[in-house]
Structures are given as C-alpha cells and as structure tokens.
Amino acid sequence: MCYAIPGKVEAINQKIVTVDYYGEKKKAINEFHELSVGDYIYAQGGYVIAKVSPHQAQEVLTAWQELFFKLQEIDEEKSRFLPDKKARENKVVAIFDRVNNGHQATRDDLRYLLALKKRADLELFFKAANFLRQKYHKNACCVHGIIEISNYCTRNCYYCGISCLNKNIKRYRMSKKEILDSVEEAVVKYGFKALVLQSAEDKDYSIDDLVDIVKTIKERHAVLVFVSFGEIGKRGLEKLFEAGSRGLLMRFETSNPKIYEALHPGYSLESRIEELKYAYKLGYLIITGGLIGLPGQTDEDIINDIYLAKDLNTDMYSFSPFIPHPDTPLAKNPPPDEEKVLKTLALVRFTVPKEAKILVTTGFETLSPSARKEGLASGASSVMLNVTPLKYRPLYSIYPARAHEKDSIDAQIQETIELLKSLGRAPTDLGI
C-alpha cells in the first residue's frame, strides 16, 4: 500500500527534487519523469514513481488532510517520553539521553540494553525507542506488498523449510502471467506503491526471464519494485536495475561467518555481503538483516548483525526470529523468546535512530500475535503484507503456520489500517 500522499515539487536540483507534504519537506530522486516546480508526484522509498495531475492530487490531499493531522496528533500523544524522577536515574534513560542528543550508542550501551530483563527497564527501553522513531520518522509507516513467485530452491539453508534438502513439500512456480496478474491486483485494485518480488533460488527463472517480468511491471505500473531472488550475482543485479527495480531484499542471515558456514555448507558469508555492497553502489535501496535465535548465536552476534546492517547502508532493517521447521536439520532447535526479538528492534532504533526503517517481520508475527502492535510501539516503522495468490501461500513454507497464510489481501489491509489508525500511524512513505 503505502498510500503515498501526493507531494508538490518545490525545487529541482538535477535528479533531486524537494517535495512538500502539507508543509513537511522531503527529498526524492527523479530518474524517469519530466518535472517542473509546482507538479504533483508520488514518491516511494525516496524515488519519484509517478507524476499525477493537479486535480487528482488535490482530491487525494483533501480526502487525507484531516485524517493526516489527526493521526499525527494521536501518534505524538502516544510516543511522548517523559520519564519520572525515579526513571531518570535508570541507566536506560542515561543511554537514551545521549542518543537523543545525537551521540552514537556505544557497544557497551547496546550490550546493556540487550541484556535487560526487568519489566520496568524494558518498558523504558521500548518507550524510548518509540520516541526516537517518532522524532525522526513522524507517523509514517511503510506498507509494502510481497509476492512469493516460486519455492523451487537450489540452496541448502539448514533452517529453511523450502531448501532443496526438504523432499516433503510440493513445489510451485508462478507463470509470468500469474505474476503480472498478482502485481496488477496489488497495484490497481489495492493501491500498493511498493512491491517485493521474492523467489527461492530457482534456476529455472533465468535473469533474462526476471528482467522481462520487472520491465513489464515498470511499463505497466507506477510502483517501486524490490527484487528478492537470493544471490543472483553482480551482473544479475545490474540487469535488474536497468530493468527498473530499485530495491533489493536479501538478508545476510548472520554476521558470524562460522554460524553462516555451518548453516549454509558450501556457501560463504563474504560473497553475500559483497552482493549487498554492490547493490547499494548501483543505487538499490537495501532491505537486509539477520535471523535471531540461530543455534550458537550470542548477544554479541546480534549486536554485530545490527552493525553490519548499518555498514551496508540498509534502508529497511529486517530482523526475524528463527522458527524451527520440522523437515529441516534445525527441527529440534527452539525459537528465541519474543522479548529478544522486540529488544533487537528497539536496539536497531537506538543504533540508527534517524536512518532506519524497521520492519515487523512475518516471522515475528508468527511467533507472537501481538508482534505488530508491540513492534510498532518499540521503534519499528514498517510492515509487509502478503499478496501472493492464496493457493500458493501455504507452499512457501519457510517455517510452519506463517502469519497471514490464509488471510485474503482485503482482510490484511483492513486489519492493518485498523491497527495503524489506533496507533496514529499513516500508511505512507513520504521519501527521505
């Protein structure tokens, strides 16, 4: 969704346009559109994706205006952070004060926060993270859609239910027509402005097939396309960028090379990181992160994961709990507790308060029914809705009983809008 309220172009400096949204100024990159000052545009993830007529823009702006300011008010109210005298003596508040004053949290700070156990300390930590989210991101909540186009996989990831090691599942591959129909439904019927196309590492889709699909989508629709096809090599990234995709979703899974190599025999963390760095250089918006609760992982590893994501210039941080799948080598390993996941999200906010969009992942929602509400109230600022055709969704079984596996797109949108309204968040993405 990301209803992307239209903005008015106020200034143009080569590719960078300054856009006004009800008085708020944002910047966006314009690559494809003939623009003049005074034009109205839609932007997503800092990219101009469409020019709209003044008439259409005014209509949407008028419809949104009242709600926009009302939601901002609710959010401001809910994200106030006014620790009382006793709380002011808490070390959490001392760390918050430094971060709030523009200083970097130290590794010791992060260690301290990640180790918190007492309810009162945790509440302060989560509330402080929510304050920082509001301070820098206002009430914007990115709502991307994801389409999972194939579960055929050549990789052997030990945690993953659709890896080539699992012989017990039914495989599927959506045809080009099915993919384009799903994209059309998401964009035209439901108004999504940013979509992730995801696939297992299915060698039956050549890069040229994927390029053809992305190109056709970009010809037909004003939508920001993220690709998520695993490691496709530098040439693959270049070709898909040329085709018009501007985002890459690929987790590095863990920053610990020993854990990485134990869980992906024959593959190296280094090559994955190389690809993420190259994608950023090409101009992709990066969504990445790691799995929380992998066997052998320590708190220090989680902190390193956050630092690695930061070093990779991540736009949206995607940290998910590991959830055991019965038909994988990690079937007997427990998932992490919910609190650890929530602490990780809040910790990302403390580490990169201004820059980070932070996703509440489907994995977290699967672990905890209140994940979205709690995550969004603890520093997170984004959600993803699954717009894969319902008949395929249960087959993309990276772990069992995934949240929203059976929910129609309609139902997911209803639920999301209700929740966002109650929190004072707007499903918008106003750029950078």
State the residues that interact with ligand 5AD by CB under 6 A: 159-160, 251, 253, 291, 320, 322-323, 325, 363, 398-399
Note the maximum CA span of the chain.
Answer: 62
Smallest distance from the beta carbon of 371 to ligand 5AD, in angstroms?
Answer: 13
In whole angstroms, the minimum distance from the beta carbon of 418 to ligand 5AD comes to: 26
Amino acid at 230: G
Do residues 42 and 49 make contact, with C-beta atoms less than 8 angstroms apart? yes
Name the residue nearer to ligand 5AD (CB basis): 71 or 306: 306
Nearer to ligand 5AD, 144 or 251 (CB): 251
Q: What's at 53, amino acid-wise?
A: S
Query: Which two three-digit tokens encode residue 374?
Result: 């709690």
Strand partners of residue 29: 16, 47
Q: For the purposes of burial, counting CB atoms within 10 Å of the CB of 249, is it exposed (0-12), middle (13-18) or buried (19 or more)?
A: buried
Residue 235 to residue 357: CA distance in whole angstroms: 28
For ligand 5AD, give the closer residue by CB, 253 or 429: 253
Cβ closest to ligand 5AD, residue 83 vs residue 324: 324
In the complex with ligand 5AD, which residue's Cβ is closer, 51 or 325? 325
Least distance (Å) from ligand 5AD to the CB of residue 85? 42
- The least CB distance from residue 133 to ligand 5AD, in Å, is 23
Of the pair 145, 363, the CB lying nearest ligand 5AD is at 363
CB closer to ligand 5AD, 46 vs 363: 363
Beta carbon nearer to ligand 5AD, 72 or 318? 318
From residue 377, give the alpha-carbon distance in Å to each of 77, 142, 162, 342.
Answer: 12, 15, 32, 10
- Minimum Å gap between C-beta 275 and ligand 5AD is 13
Judged by beta carbon, residue 146 or residue 224, the one nearer ligand 5AD is 146
Token output for 224: 């920001």
CB environment 16-51: b (16+ within 10 A), e (fewer): ebbbebeeeebebbbeeeeeeeebbbbbbbbbbbbb
Q: 327: helix, coil or strand?
A: coil
Question: Which of 321/427 has CB closer to ligand 5AD?
Answer: 321
Q: Provide, rounded to whole angstroms, the least separation between the CB of residue 376 and ligand 5AD.
A: 20
Angle at 84 between CA 78 and CA 90, to 5 degrees: 105
Q: How far is the CB of 228 from ligand 5AD (least distance, A)?
A: 7
- Amino acid making up residue 225: V
Shortest distance (Å) from residue 369 CB to ligand 5AD: 17
CA distances from 362 to 168, 191, 329, 367, 402 (A): 23, 21, 22, 9, 7
Shortest spacing between CB 419 and ligand 5AD, in angstroms: 22
Closest CA to 302 of 359, 350, 340: 340
Quote the least distance from Cβ 217 to ligand 5AD, whole Å. 20
Non-local (6+) Cβ contacts of 80 within 8 A are 131
Query: Could you give the residue ranges of the DSSP H alpha helices within 294-403?
Result: 299-311, 338-351, 362-367, 371-376
Q: Using CA atoms, how far apart are residues 421 and 64, in angstroms rounded to an integer?
A: 13
- DSSP state, residue 187: I
